Structure 1
Amino acid sequence: FASPRLVSVSLKGLLGGHSGADIGEGRANAVRCGAVLADRVLAALGPAHVRLASFRGGDKRNAIARECFLSFLVDGGDVPREGCRGCEACAPPRPASERQSCVRRFRDVVEECQEAFLAEFGQREAELKLRIESERSLDGSRGEAALTPGSADRLLALLLGIPHGPVKYSHAVPGLVETSSNLAAARDLAAAPPHVRGPDGKPPPARYELVCATRSTLLPALEAVRASIRRLGLLCGASVLQKAAYPGWVPEPDAPVVQAAAQAVQAVTGRKPELKAIHAGLECGVLAEKNPGTKCVSFGPTILGAHSPDERILVETVEPFYKATLGLMERLAQIRA
């Protein structure tokens, strides 16, 4: 590039949340939004005038990504003419009044994406902020790294193609997400401090790890989604590692232990509890898988903002939960007797 510039962009302020319980709310995923931005930037300027230098976002596999950070190498020259293939043979030169710098066009795309994200998610993601954090000229002798166009295409194909959000809602329980997948994180495994360079004076090549978490109450449906992710990864030239899936747990609201728990809670609170099925990886599924025929129930104090920095517990709900647990144990002892 002519006088290349390194431009860093951040996406912050998203709600994030639990990748099961909150996945059906339509919250924005920072990793997916970051991929949309990168795709639009590369399409607007072309590989001869911009390169994706770094991409990272999200954190834990069981949380919806709240933040994403990207950097680009941007040509310090003007936006090419329509149809230009990146050479320097365009003639006659355009007058200054008709020129737009690549960096200015880059800024325009960022602003357009901010408006598009707010139009799509703003009713729920009021604190969403997409902004350029820094911009600086580069010393060409430093050998700043960037993904090749082919590598960037494969990375973005995965980030935009891997399923995220509800895949299917339950036919038996209205409004319950039955199967979902969470595009949880993107990590640069070869990220190195600025002073680290290889024998050729350049940074080590980028290696990215994408983390997903798929959930379902039905094992065949879960494995079908996992298979689609694996196929997409292999198609894009990635190595795919899939650990054993978290077992599902089919709701059984009429099970004796569930009814006993409802009675115990009502005895403490004076109110009949609402029985719900939630889309989350509870230990009940693991216990039921290891002990076929086991009936399970899950209840406890009120937790808000699960799997996010805002996670908190309502302290006043802890004591009633403890008393209800004692009451449930008494009822179960009577049933066994």
Structure 2
Amino acid sequence: MASVDSRGSELPTVANNSQIVEQLGEPASVWLYFSQLSQIPRRSGCEADVLRMLEEFATERQFECRRDAAGNTVISRPGSGTGREAPTVVIQNHVDMVCVKGDTSRHDFSMDPIRFVRDGGWGDDWLTADDTTLGSDNGIGVAIALSVLDLPQEASLPPIEALFTVDEETGLTGVQKLDPGLVTGRTLLNLDTEQWGEICVGSAGTGTTEILLPVHREAPAGDAVCMQLEVSGLLGGHSGAEIQCDRANAVKLAARAARRLLAAAPGTRLVDLAGGELRNSIPRRAAATLLVAGRDCGAALQAAVDASRAAFLAEYGTVETALQLSWREAEAPPAGGRPLCGDSASRLLSLLSCLPHGVHKYSHSIPGLPETSSNLAVVEACGGEAYRVTTTTRSSVPDALESVRDAIEATATLCGGRAERRPAYSGWQPDLASGLLARTRAAYAEALGREPRIKASHAGLECGVLSGLLPGLDAVSIGPEIRGAHSVDERVQVSTVAECHRLVLRLLEGLTERRPAQGDARG
């Protein structure tokens, strides 16, 4: 099955990917589908080409394929073997991926295939990408679902509805627009958990807040030079899965360093501060542009840079081993080199300094689980007269989530900005009496030789939204070992992909027996 883009042109195959896939072994079908998927650009909101691939897959196998107005797609495979009369099982994954690349990467996520790298410094059991995110989140789950759909017709399987959602990584917006009539099953396997050996039964709710801060600019001094202060080399990572790791936030560090430099040389002016890429990623790079009047303050500014670097390394150097703080002449000054007036610069830096970032509270009932957190995700200029700041707040307690967003809105107001709250999506409440959980637990214990860990996640999962849309839904989330999601360090452990695939098949085999299923729309 050749992959084509939205214009009908065949997408290039990455030869090195094919060679690596051959070396990965079983399950060969999963690695083949993941390789095909990795050739198709699939940034959130730009999933047309991958949806076309799914439609072609269904057509070639004469499976029913349904799609709602948002793009969410279901491929239905009838029950086969001993599972012909069993209740329908939904296998759910999202098709979009987080698109993050290294500081020097020239990768174009709108057209370039993802290039696989075996090992990448992590060991032979890991697959990663060439200085970009890999897309194993949630591409491996998509590949497992396609592999299940493609099993021989004589295989014993219950009726399968493979649900492929869109636009998950920008705030679960695709699944929130799901047409409930698209899905008849009420037993759901979500394959978006990233820790092998764990069954996820709950997740946090999430709300994004955008702040618009008006600013004013002034004319630059005639003899001034634009300099760039850049924080780079940070780990970044998923703002739900890794917020508790206390990694540095590049936007926070850039604001701290800029304040120090402005204090060291009072004639210096702030031109710009920008950083972060995505609402659900911890910023790994940020840069401040400053207008330096004359050369006589150079020593003071360099001393401030060195002091900031030393402070950051003292605070984060044990974890952020590649942290860099550079100071150099700006090649292409933003805003035409026009600096912010003193009041605007002060309000912008105060806002970035005061906005919350990190874990606010840990769960009292589940040790080590963040209950409420915030991520200061992105700061960017909107033309020359305003800045947009994006924050993401997560909590398993709805009132606590909104309380933090109250504080964010109050901070924005005090700094002269206006906060707009996007509607928060609901968390997924654990059901420890779930029949599907009991089956999954038994199958997992058989595969592992020990009891799996039952957990809730601080990251958002679509199961919470689906539970609200599909009454009576019984859901669990499992998946292979994926680390560094939403960063260039994203990698999947090869051996756990095979184990996860076997677990899914074992579960489906156990679900072939005819039994009453609460809320099963098939009756």
TM-score interval, smaller chain: 0.7 to 0.9
Residue equivalent to 1:9: 229
In structure 2, how many angstroms separate the alpha carbons of the residues matched to 1:335 and 1:184?
Answer: 48
What per-residue deviation string (whole Å, max 9, x for no partner) do you get for residues 123-172 of structure 1?
Answer: 10010000113268x9xxx9630111111111112101111000111000
Does residue 226 (structure 1) correspond to residue 226 (structure 2)? The answer is no
Residue equivalent to 2:521: none
Instruction: Summarize the Cα distance change of 1:50–1:300 in structure 2 as closer, same or farther, 3 Å threshold.
Output: same
What are the within-5 Å matches in structure 2 for residues 55-74 of structure 1?
55-74=273-292
Higher mean alpha-carbon deviation, 127-136 vs 304-313, is at: 127-136
Does residue 320 (structure 1) correspond to residue 499 (structure 2)? The answer is yes
In structure 1, how many angstroms separate the alpha carbons of the residues matched to 2:281 and 2:357?
Answer: 12
Instruction: Summarize the Cα distance change of 1:11–1:143 in structure 2 as closer, same or farther, 3 Å threshold.
Output: closer
Which letter does structure 2 place at the counterpart of 1:228? A
In structure 1, how many angstroms separate the alpha carbons of the residues matched to 2:433 and 2:491?
Answer: 31
In structure 1, how many angstroms separate the alpha carbons of the residues matched to 2:489 and 2:318?
Answer: 19
Higher mean alpha-carbon deviation, 252-261 vs 305-314, is at: 252-261
Instruction: Summarize the Cα distance change of 1:252–1:25 in structure 2 as closer, same or farther, 3 Å threshold.
Output: farther
Note if contact 1:147-1:206 (Cα within 8 Å) is conserved in structure 2.
no
> Counterpart of 2:288 in 1: which secondary structure?
strand
Note if contact 2:225-2:329 (Cα within 8 Å) is conserved in structure 1.
no
Does residue 154 (structure 1) correspond to residue 347 (structure 2)? The answer is yes
> Counterpart of 1:240 in 2: which secondary structure?
strand
In structure 2, how many angstroms separate the alpha carbons of the residues matched to 1:284 and 1:30?
Answer: 31
Residue equivalent to 1:285: 464
Which letter does structure 1 place at the counterpart of 2:365? A
Instruction: Summarize the Cα distance change of 1:219–1:295 in structure 2 as closer, same or farther, 3 Å threshold.
Output: farther
In structure 1, how many angstroms separate the alpha carbons of the residues matched to 2:430 and 2:313?
Answer: 36
In structure 2, how many angstroms separate the alpha carbons of the residues matched to 1:124 and 1:69?
Answer: 21
In structure 2, how many angstroms separate the alpha carbons of the residues matched to 1:161 and 1:289?
Answer: 35
Match of 2:329 among 134, 142, 154: 134
Moved over 4 A (4+): 332-335
In structure 1, how many angstroms separate the alpha carbons of the residues matched to 2:376 and 2:245?
Answer: 15
What per-residue deviation string (whole Å, max 9, x for no partner) do you get for residues 295-321 of structure 1?
Answer: 432111111111112212122222221
Note if contact 1:62-1:213 (Cα within 8 Å) is conserved in structure 2.
yes
Instruction: Summarize the Cα distance change of 1:328–1:76 in structure 2 as closer, same or farther, 3 Å threshold.
Output: same
In structure 2, how many angstroms separate the alpha carbons of the residues matched to 1:30 and 1:268?
Answer: 41
Give the drift of 1:2.
7.3
Higher mean alpha-carbon deviation, 164-173 vs 228-237, is at: 228-237
Give the drift of 1:249.
2.2
What per-residue deviation string (whole Å, max 9, x for no partner) do you get for residues 224-253 of structure 1?
Answer: 111211222122222322211132223444
Give the drift of 1:8.
0.8
Residue equivalent to 1:103: 298
Instruction: Summarize the Cα distance change of 1:328–1:38 in structure 2 as closer, same or farther, 3 Å threshold.
Output: same
In structure 2, how many angstroms separate the alpha carbons of the residues matched to 1:156 and 1:335?
Answer: 62
What are the within-5 Å matches in structure 2 for residues 122-271 of structure 1?
122-134=317-329, 144-190=337-383, 205-271=384-450
Note if contact 2:229-2:254 (Cα within 8 Å) is conserved in structure 1.
no
Which letter does structure 2 place at the counterpart of 1:12? S
In structure 1, how many angstroms separate the alpha carbons of the residues matched to 2:469 and 2:330?
Answer: 55
Higher mean alpha-carbon deviation, 35-44 vs 22-31, is at: 35-44
In structure 1, how many angstroms separate the alpha carbons of the residues matched to 2:479 and 2:270?
Answer: 46
In structure 1, how many angstroms separate the alpha carbons of the residues matched to 2:402 and 2:502?
Answer: 40
Runs of at least 5 residues in structure 1 that lack an aligned partner in the other structure: 78-100, 191-204
Task: Give the alignment's TM-score, normalised by structure 1.
Answer: 0.81
> Counterpart of 2:375 in 1: which secondary structure?
strand
Aligned residue pairs: how many? 294
Note if contact 1:264-1:325 (Cα within 8 Å) is conserved in structure 2.
no
Which letter does structure 2 place at the counterpart of 1:111? D
Which letter does structure 2 place at the counterpart of 1:169? Y
Note if contact 1:215-1:246 (Cα within 8 Å) is conserved in structure 2.
no
Higher mean alpha-carbon deviation, 267-276 vs 103-112, is at: 267-276
Note if contact 1:249-1:284 (Cα within 8 Å) is conserved in structure 2.
yes
In structure 2, how many angstroms separate the alpha carbons of the residues matched to 1:257 and 1:275?
Answer: 13
Residue equivalent to 2:310: 115
> Counterpart of 1:114 in 2: which secondary structure?
helix
> Counterpart of 1:174 in 2: which secondary structure?
coil
Note if contact 1:75-1:103 (Cα within 8 Å) is conserved in structure 2.
no
Does residue 51 (structure 1) correspond to residue 269 (structure 2)? The answer is yes
In structure 1, how many angstroms separate the alpha carbons of the residues matched to 2:403 and 2:353?
Answer: 19
Give the drift of 1:67.
0.3
In structure 1, how many angstroms separate the alpha carbons of the residues matched to 2:488 and 2:432?
Answer: 32
Which letter does structure 2 place at the counterpart of 1:53? V
Structure number with the bigger relative contact order (C-alpha 8 A, sep ≥ 6) is 2
Residue equivalent to 1:80: none
Match of 2:489 among 305, 310, 324: 310
In structure 2, how many angstroms separate the alpha carbons of the residues matched to 1:331 and 1:15?
Answer: 41
Instruction: Summarize the Cα distance change of 1:214–1:135 in structure 2 as closer, same or farther, 3 Å threshold.
Output: closer
> Counterpart of 1:260 in 2: which secondary structure?
helix
Residue equivalent to 1:193: none
Task: Give the alignment's TM-score, normalised by structure 2.
Answer: 0.53
Runs of at least 5 residues in structure 2 that lack an aligned partner in the other structure: 1-220, 517-523
